Amino acid sequence: MDIENSSEFSPKKLKDKRMERAVSVCAELFLERGIENVKMTDIAEVSGVGVATLYRYFGTKTGIAIEAMTFLWNDLRNLFGGLFDSEQFLSQSGIKQLHDLLKMFVVLFTAHKGFMRLLGEFDRFVIHENVPSDELREYESSIIDFYPVVERAYKQGISDGTIREITDFRLFYVTYAHALTEMCKKFIDGEVLPSDDFSDAEKELGMLIECAVSYLTKGV
């Protein structure tokens, strides 16, 4: 094999691999320390990519932060990939499918707290840095959109008689998705007021999900 002429070992391929590692390291550091507490020098030290190279390739810390968050969403997508297309899932009634889909917010809260915490921090970081929306297109496209499978479950439920038809299902989904996401962020950020008590956070999320399912269940 002619290594020098092999595309597998071309300078561009090797450079891309180094930058991929830098993004992966950045994501790990963000999860461990938070965005504000990670410097470009930290990423350089752990990844083995020089600081000057990082700035040349990503422009700013904002640039690599967007790449790191995109990386984390794609990683999460791979984790859930195929789960809702399985025969076992699709054999359930529409209302049971929808119930299981909404419970994914509880899974994110209990099993991926670091990621959920980081989402809130990234939102604040983007606002503080005045990041133009055009620079967030790739990040936005990486965000898992559960709506298509939720809508499929809704239509299945109408067909099998377990879900009642409502005027604007997309508005229904967006309302509950926003509410559940913000509740997760609040619980993860921690108690602030003397009266705050988040010891039943998971039960609170479950209660909101049950309200949504009850609202859609036909005959209830």
Hey, what are 80's tokens?
């859930």
- For residue 81, the SS3 value is coil
d(CA 24, CA 20): 6
Q: Give the per-residue SS3 of 102-135.
A: HCHHHHHHHHCHHHHHHHHHHHHHHHHCCCCHHH
Position 186, amino acid = K
Note the pLDDT of residue 85. 87
Position 164, amino acid = R
Hey, what are 132's tokens?
């133009």
Q: Which of 160, 147, 149, 154 is nearest to 215 (CA)?
A: 154
Are 205 and 184 within 8 A, CB to CB? yes
Note the pLDDT of residue 12. 52
Are 208 and 183 within 8 A, CB to CB? yes
Question: Domain 1-59: what homologous superfamily?
Answer: Homeodomain-like (1.10.10.60)
The one-digit pLDDT tens for each residue of the chain (220 residues) are: 333 343 443 445 546 888 999 999 999 999 999 999 999 999 999 999 999 999 999 999 999 999 999 999 988 888 877 788 899 999 999 999 999 999 999 998 998 899 999 998 999 999 999 999 999 999 988 888 888 999 999 999 999 999 999 999 999 999 999 999 999 989 988 899 999 999 999 999 999 999 999 999 998 5
Are 176 and 211 within 8 A, CB to CB? no
Could you tell me where the DSSP H helices lie in the chain? 11-33, 40-47, 51-58, 61-80, 87-90, 94-102, 104-111, 113-128, 137-142, 147-160, 169-189, 201-216
